[in-house]
Each structure stands twice: as C-alpha cells, then as structure tokens.
Structure 1
C-alpha cells in the first residue's frame, strides 16, 4: 500500500468519525400565509441564529443535538408575533411544523416525542389566551396592556400542569410561569404557584434538579439588595472553570460595576463599545465585572465572551442575580462604591450612561450624584449675588432627543431657585446632541454625541454647601443630587 492510499484511508476515517460525532435533528415548516423573506431564527438553550428564510411558505433547518433537547423557533416577518414556539428534539429526529396563518406559536407540531405531545396539550388548553396575547403583541400594545394577559396565561398554564406527565415540557412551563413573578409585582396567583411548585417537586423524576431549584428560587425569592445597602459576596466562575468570589473585585479600592448580560441580548451587545470606551478612561477608578447568565458551555464557546476586556465571570450558581436584580431582565447594571455600598441600579441600556459615569468618577470640578441618569452631569457652577449659572453636559445618541423644561430649578436652603435663562439648549423642545463624544469609527460609538449648555437660576439667598438640580417635578425628570460647591 503506497503513502497516498494510506493518507486517503486516514482522511476517510477522520471524516466518517467526525460525521458520526455530529448528531442533528431536522425541522421543516410551512404556512401559505408566510411572506417570502421572513427570517427563521432557531436554537437551543438561550442562543439562536438565523437558520433560513421563508420561500413560497416553506422553511427548513437542522440543529446539532446530542440528547433530548428543548429548542425554540421564532419567525420574524410581516404578521408574525415577536414570540417563540418550543420544539423538543433528539438526534436523527425529523419534526414538521405547519399552520394556515402567521400565528406560529399555535401551529401543529408533528413529532413522536411525548414531551411534544405534552407541549401541544398545554398550547391547546391556552389557545384563547395565547391568541389574545399575540394580537396585542402584533398591535404593539404597551406593557400595561400585555401584563394582565401574561398573568392570565400563567394562570391557565398552572391550571393544567397537575394533570400532565412530569416531563421536560411540564417542568419547563412551570419554570416560565414562575419567572414572571420576578417581573410582576404582587402576582395574584402566588398561592396556587406555591402548591404546584411543591406538587411538581415531589413527583419530578431525576435529572431536573437544576430547573426545580430555579423554580423554587422564584417562588420563594431571597430579599433583593437595594440602593444604599451593603453589597453581599457571591460565588462566580471564570472562563477556565475556576471559582471566584465577587469581593475579589474590590481588592484595589475601586468602584465596581456589575454587568449582568446574556448572549443573544441585543442591548447587552450594543452597550459593550461604550462600556469599553468608558472603561479605558476610568480604569484607575472602576472595575467592571461582567456576569453572564447563559449556561457555562454556551458562554465559554461564544466569540463575544472571548473579547471582553474586563473581569468576565459566569453566574453559574444563579445566586447573585437573585440577590441584586429587581427584575429578571438584562442588561442589568449595579454600581457599588469602594466601601461596598450599592449606589446605582439600571436596567436596559441608554447611550451615554457610561460616558457620563466616567466623567463623574474621574472627578469633575463639583462632586455630585448623577446616578438618576448618568447621561447628564454638571461641569461647572458660578454662584454670585445676581444669579447662579450651571454648565451641563448631556451624552446621548445623535438621533435621540432630550428635553429641559422651563420649570427646572435648584433646591437648597429649604427652597427652590427657579430657572431664568438657558443657553445652548431650547427649553420645552426636542434637542439633539451633535458633537461626537469619541473619535472611534465603531458604528454605535460614532453615533454617540454630547451637548454642552448652561442654565441660569435665581441667586441663592445664602451660598449653600450643596444643592440639588431638578428638571421640574414630573415623572422621569432629570435629577442631580448633592452638587458640592466646596
């Protein structure tokens, strides 16, 4: 046998071995109502990607699976609600999903798996509420209108769970129902949820210990730490699987910013360039601790995780988010002082937050607490017998407006000192920042701009040690507290 034949056989063996190790399942779908070009997103766990586009109502994709796996399917196109459908998969399984409309969470899923039959029973039982919810989603109704329907849906799911097999679908739906307790204050069906949690925990087979522990933590949540309280330590894991404690981040006497994030979270990814820019400016004053919410294997393998330049840990034990986060949403940020006091909490991402935070932590002329909205800060104060002039800077996306109202005032000496004039900003009108905040060519950073402006107020009767700025007394007004004049 010559060398060429030996190499050919070895390559064939390697190829066949690789194919044997790559197990997949296939999903095909069809609805005559789907528009061509509708995006098909699918994945397992919490990570998904675009796997196909609809053509003539049809789509198809494969996913790698090693065992029974819960996957999701989401369609993004005209008439499709921003939701997902759960599809259980096993190696070599072919699943067919069909419907006559775009309301795909209600479509028929043809599968031999018993877990999918359980899922179908739940869907059919909740069909009327699911339809109502999807109609509101498609109409872009606000959360105030979606919340009562979501509560109704959770109640209907809980009603049927005790009659179902104790399998992955039943436990998965209980987990979903229990998660909304984190985001809905005074959940009205708490007693029923507690009874079902115990019912399922007593009967669930082995292998679901992690899900049951998570459900229990939502049903019987620990007290969440609030602004002003002392931080608590927690155990985390790094990319190499080594355990760490949160308090390691305080070793150098810096502020610590906790960044709760997840792969597949758009705002989490959008915030990273600005956070990186601000981090470079305040490395001596601030340590960032990224706390990922995904499964460890997903987090370790993802390219985004590998490019993070600050402390990069995973919330493997799930205890830290339950201690610190009021809502089960990401991104979620918490700023902690060097003496381990929580000074700020923020949910979502507003462009400009971290640039404003960097300016204040790096030491602007006047100490201040601008944590109500880090995008706005005070740069200079000139207080004299005739007036008080305050110079501000506002950071924001160039296409996002901000307003300053005529009713703005300074608060000191037990009274209000009203706004009398403005320069560089139009009062009670939309203002857009135009001056670039960085030289970066990154798309998101190139859109980050600032506006410098001054506001003049009535003079102080007596020059105070500190004062507060308030943009009127309306909800969501800008507030900067404890501005020092010393």
Structure 2
C-alpha cells in the first residue's frame, strides 16, 4: 500500500511500502519501506525472526486453549486445560527473554530514536513483570545513558516508572500528593481540598466509560457539594486534555500533573480507567475502585459517605450470636456487602446486600465457601434471594438482598474468609471479623 506523507511533506507525494507474508504470523511479515521508523523496527524483527515465529505459534496455541477453557463446564477438564495454558505461558516467557537479549545487543550499537525508546519501554515492562528477569541491570543502564531531554519523552517516563515503581498508596494510607495544574497553568494540591471528602477521577478523552461518567459526576458534585470535592485528573497530553475539556463541561476540579500514566497515576496503582479513589477529610484513602456503569457512582458514594451508619456491633438472635456489619480486612469484589452474620449450631448465616449495575447480572458460584481462621472449610448449604450458580439480573435500584447458609464455623473462630475456590482472580472477601478487638 502507499502512505501519504505528513503535511509538511505533501509536495513529495507518497511513499511506497510493501508488506508480504505467506502465513498467519503477521509480526514477521516482510516490510520493505523507506519510512525510517519501519526500517528501524524491521531490523529488530530480523534479529529474532525465528524466535518471533516461535512466539507467535505459541500465542496462537494459547488462544486455542483459552477458547477451549471457556467452553468447558467440567472442572477436571478445565484444570487440565489451565495447566496446559500455564505451561505455554512459561514457554512464551522464555522466548521473550531470548528476544530481549537480541534487542539489547542492537540497542547498544545504534543511536537513540523513537523506535529505540519504544523498545526500551517494552524491555522495562519485561523487567517489572517477568519473574527472575535476567537483564534488568542492562535495561537500567540503557535508561541511565539517555540525555536529560530524552528522559522527558513519554517513552522514557514510562520506562522509569516500570524500572523504579513508586510506593503505591493503599486503603488506610496517607494520600499521595503532587503539583497539579489547571487549564490556566495555576498550581494546586490535593491538600488544598482537605476538610471534605475528595474523590479522584483518573480519566482520558479516549476512554468511553470515562466520558459516559461525566453527566453523573456533575450530579454527584452537586448532590454532595457540602461534603465532597471531585478532582478529575487527566492522563492525556496537555493538548489532548485541553481539547477534551472544551468538548465536555466539567463544573468540578479539572486538573492534571502532566505526567500521563506516571506521577499520581502510578502512585495510586491505577491499572485501568476510569479509576476512582475516595479520600477522607483527614487525607487518608477510604476506597479505590475502577470501571463505570449507569448510576454506579451514586450507589458507591451513598455507601461510602454514609459508612458511619454501618458500625460493627454484636448482638443475639434467638440465643445465637449475631455480628452486624462485620469489618472486612480485604476484598477483591465490592459487589457484596456483608450486613450480618448469625452463628448457629447448624449453620453460619450471612445476610448480604449486593450492589451492581441495574439490569446487569451477577452470579454466586455453587462452590462458594467459608474458610475459618484455623483453616476449617465450611461449604455452602443453600441460598435465599439469589439462586446459586444462576445468572441473577439486578433490579433498577442496583441493590438486591440475599442470604447464604454455610456449614457452621468452628467454636472460637475470630475471623473467616468467604471465597470462591479457583485461581487468584476468583472472588474473595478476607478477614471478616467476628470480634470487636
């Protein structure tokens, strides 16, 4: 095909780019071009062509296993498929490391350009996410060899964050702060807004759910104007941020640290947007969550801003111990809110309220269980309100109450977890307390 040149080169016409390939391994198709970036990238590909072919074949096989895994309903079969996929992932990591060795060798021999910086960022990602990565010191040396100007590019700033990740602030920690700029260039700080709750909104103009959330954000800002300050933090370039701000009315704090996915984005451990952080009037993190659905901000804030209504207490019901609104140490799912635990001789009863997007479904797995602090496993016995193992579509209110009955916890249990057995992504609510200590 032919590529039209940039505006300043229009008088030169078009450039010819020829791409040829005889298989589905697209990354290693041959590219003949006079575009400098394509020439440079093709040289990196050529250094590891056979390795890239092996990598792509492995990736196609992994994809086939993932489809097979998704289509299987038999637990034993799913476990076998998952084991095969995990084995293929290890092979992929090994191939990637061998490719990286060739990439580093070339980078040491050529000058820095955009393609060089792009590869540096990829190497830094490998250094962060690959266990026992052997070339981290070499990648750091490549970064440290950049000029001050080169270190200010977006590629290099991303590289720095991968190589030297900041300490991520978590729930209960003091908030992270920074110089934040408004559209006029004035400097602000999150500490300026102490005294009220602060809700951070990490967003981008290219994020559909971020834009969808803006009308509700305006409603929330007005609804809680006496108790809450919303601070939207754009991760776009200054030019992109300005363009998006002109296109969308934002009546609350609209700021940026101008560091993209670095800066506060990294310090708050953001992995996807929209991402929200609620900070207490004293400056401590109350909650972190991401994603948006209709009315989700109102539901979330109604729970969080009125948390003082849900204080843990102990009582009795028909002679049985009752724990109201037990504290929870950790959860990877904010849909269930455990409102009450009743301990009987024949069952552990959990009364729960689910919060989720209206008309979207949730599902309680049939193998959900409790795990006591001494390791005892208490399987689920039955459910009321939401059937086990079936899709349940949330009502318009976005709230639904249900009750789960489990085998009784051992006498003397002080805390327990509610888990769905499976991989690390399975739902877990950990450290559900039964004592006030």
Q: What range describes the TM-score normalised by the shorter chain of this pair?
A: 0.5 to 0.7
Displacement of 1:321 after TM fit? 2.7
Match for residue 14 of structure 2? 94
Q: What secondary structure is seen at the aligned counterpart in 2 of 1:124?
A: helix
Q: What secondary structure is seen at the aligned counterpart in 2 of 1:260?
A: strand
Q: 1:481 to 1:238 in 2, by over 3 A?
A: farther
Q: State the TM-score, normalizing by the size of structure 1.
A: 0.62
Contact map agreement 1:115 1:168 (CA 8 A) in 2: yes
Contact map agreement 1:289 1:311 (CA 8 A) in 2: yes
Q: State the TM-score, normalizing by the size of structure 2.
A: 0.68
Match for residue 452 of structure 1? 401
Structure 1 residues not aligned, in runs of 5+:
1-27, 30-59, 67-88, 438-448
Q: 1:173 to 1:389 in 2, by over 3 A?
A: closer
In the alignment, the residues of structure 2 paired with residue 280 and residue 338 of structure 1 have an alpha-carbon distance, to the nearest angstrom, of 18
Structure 2 residues not aligned, in runs of 5+:
67-84, 312-326
Contact map agreement 2:194 2:281 (CA 8 A) in 1: no
Displacement of 1:451 after TM fit? 3.6
In the alignment, the residues of structure 2 paired with residue 454 and residue 270 of structure 1 have an alpha-carbon distance, to the nearest angstrom, of 33
In the alignment, the residues of structure 2 paired with residue 247 and residue 259 of structure 1 have an alpha-carbon distance, to the nearest angstrom, of 16
In the alignment, the residues of structure 2 paired with residue 305 and residue 181 of structure 1 have an alpha-carbon distance, to the nearest angstrom, of 39
Match for residue 432 of structure 1? 392
Q: 1:417 to 1:113 in 2, by over 3 A?
A: closer
Match for residue 167 of structure 1? 113
In the alignment, the residues of structure 1 paired with residue 11 and residue 396 of structure 2 have an alpha-carbon distance, to the nearest angstrom, of 52
Match for residue 38 of structure 1? none
Displacement of 1:457 after TM fit? 5.8
Q: 1:372 to 1:174 in 2, by over 3 A?
A: closer
Match for residue 440 of structure 1? none
In the alignment, the residues of structure 2 paired with residue 63 and residue 397 of structure 1 have an alpha-carbon distance, to the nearest angstrom, of 48
Match for residue 291 of structure 1? 233
Contact map agreement 2:5 2:14 (CA 8 A) in 1: no
Q: What secondary structure is seen at the aligned counterpart in 1 of 2:356?
A: strand
Match of 1:479 among 417, 426, 429: 429
- Are positions 1:374 and 2:374 aligned together? no
Displacement of 1:210 after TM fit? 0.9
- Are positions 1:232 and 2:166 aligned together? no
Q: How does 1:31-110 map to 2 (within 5 A)?
A: 94-101=14-21, 105-107=27-29, 109=31
Contact map agreement 1:354 1:375 (CA 8 A) in 2: no
Q: 1:316 to 1:411 in 2, by over 3 A?
A: same
> What are the Cα deviations for residues 234-263 of structure 1, in whole angstroms up to 9, with x where unaligned?
112223333222323x42321x34333334
In the alignment, the residues of structure 2 paired with residue 410 and residue 93 of structure 1 have an alpha-carbon distance, to the nearest angstrom, of 69
Match for residue 264 of structure 2? 320
In the alignment, the residues of structure 2 paired with residue 63 and residue 246 of structure 1 have an alpha-carbon distance, to the nearest angstrom, of 44
Match of 1:117 among 17, 23, 39: 39
Question: Greater strand percent: which structure?
Answer: 1
Displacement of 1:216 after TM fit? 3.8
Aligned pair count? 385
Q: 1:193 to 1:482 in 2, by over 3 A?
A: same
> What are the Cα deviations for residues 7-53 of structure 1, in whole angstroms up to 9, with x where unaligned?
xxxxxxxxxxxxxxxxxxxxx45xxxxxxxxxxxxxxxxxxxxxxxx
- Are positions 1:306 and 2:248 aligned together? yes
Match for residue 49 of structure 2? 127
Contact map agreement 2:355 2:399 (CA 8 A) in 1: yes
Kindly report the root-mean-square deviation, in angstroms, between the aligned alpha carbons of the 2 structures: 4.6
